[in-house]
Amino acid sequence: MGTGDHIAAPSGLRFWFISVQGWLGRFPLSIIQLAMRIGVGSVYFKAGLLKFNSPESTVALFQSEYKVPLLDPALAAHLSTYVEIIFPVLLFLGLATRIATLPLLGEIAVIELFVYPLAWTDHLVWGSILLFLLTRGPGALSVDHLIDRYFLKRN
């Protein structure tokens, strides 16, 4: 560098933008992953509890409105009830998280294709969260993380 050459420090709005961007980049991803697991799991869990608490109404709904092809309405009602209760609990705990996302993604696909195709915005949100958890995992605030650490220490 010659005389008079210097690197200018960012100033004003540019400095603020870079500072905020850096600060936000340090926010723990594990907290975001926990929020994703709880958020999407809650949607399913509430729906599962409603179905569980009124099984006759649920079967009637599958007979009249949902009409899932290839499945008996009673079987579809029971399957969806248990999928929506069991797998969200696994998401809440962060236990077998990647596996737990698969039936929920399958349910989204069935609902989108055969039941409520115009609800694609909701399905896109839920599906994106589930795909993130499937591909990136549940994060450090999970039982899966504790299990991974236990087995890594043993090797």
Question: Does residue 4 lie in a domain region?
Answer: no
SS3 141: coil
| Helices (H), ranges, the chain | 12-25, 29-53, 55-61, 73-93, 97-110, 120-136, 143-154
Question: Does residue 13 lie in a domain region?
Answer: no
Q: Residue 61 is part of which domain span?
A: 29-154
Q: Which residue has the higher pLDDT, 125 or 12?
A: 125
**Distances, alpha carbon 9 to alpha carbons 18, 41, 78, 139, in Å:** 11, 45, 63, 36
Question: Does residue 7 lie in a domain region?
Answer: no
pLDDT, tens only, 83-103: 999 999 999 999 999 999 999
Question: Does residue 103 lie in a domain region?
Answer: yes
Question: Does residue 100 lie in a domain region?
Answer: yes
Domains in the chain: how many in total? Answer: 1
Question: Does residue 12 lie in a domain region?
Answer: no
Is pLDDT of 7 > 70? Answer: no
Mean pLDDT of 141-146: 97
